Each structure stands twice: as C-alpha cells, then as structure tokens.
C-alpha cells in the first residue's frame, strides 16, 4: 500500500469521527435546559395623585433603565491592575 492511500483512509476516519462527535454534541445541547433569563434592566412605576382642592387626578410615570457597562469589581481596581 502506498502512503497516499493510507493518508486518505486516515483522513476519512478522522472526518467520520468528527461528524459523529458533532452530532452527539448537538443532541446534548438540544436536551439541556434553556439558560436562566437575564435580570431586568427596565422598570416602570406609576403614582396617581389627586388634588384635594380641585379633585384633579395627576399621573406621574417613572421609567428606569439600568445599564451596567463595567463589572463593579473592575472599578475598585486601578488601571494598572486591570
């Protein structure tokens, strides 16, 4: 047998095993539970105030968006430590 034939057979076995491993990994991912939801970064609040003199109702709406661009632990370190 020549060297090229052995190399082709070895590559074929390698590719076949790689394909089988990828199929098995895909099946495992399908059976895993979904990741937990991310914490809410958006909140809404509403306050209703009634004026005692006129009886007029006023609605105060509050929208809050919290974003965390940097890990708080990174803020405690100096730039040289990062």
Question: pLDDT tens, 28-38?
Answer: 777 778 777 67
Specify if 65 maps to a domain: yes
Q: For residue 15, give both structure tokens.
A: 């590719």
Specify if 5 maps to a domain: no
Which residue range is the domain that position 66 belongs to? 42-76
Q: How confident is the model at residue 20 (pLDDT cuts 50, 70, 90)?
A: very high
Specify if 18 maps to a domain: no
Specify if 35 maps to a domain: no
- Count how many domains the chain has: 1
Specify if 70 maps to a domain: yes
Specify if 28 maps to a domain: no
Specify if 55 maps to a domain: yes
Please write the tens of the pLDDT for every residue from 26-65: 887 777 787 776 776 788 889 999 999 999 999 999 988 8
């Amino acid at each position: 047998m020549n060297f090229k034939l052995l190399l082709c057979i070895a590559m074929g076995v390698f590719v076949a095993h790689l394909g089988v491993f990828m199929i098995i990994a895909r099946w495992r991912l399908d059976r895993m539970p979904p990741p937990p939801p991310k914490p809410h970064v958006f909140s809404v609040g509403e306050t209703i105030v009634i004026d005692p003199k006129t009886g007029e109702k006023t609605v105060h709406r509050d929208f809050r968006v919290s974003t965390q661009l940097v890990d708080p632990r990174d803020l405690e370190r100096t730039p040289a430590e990062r």
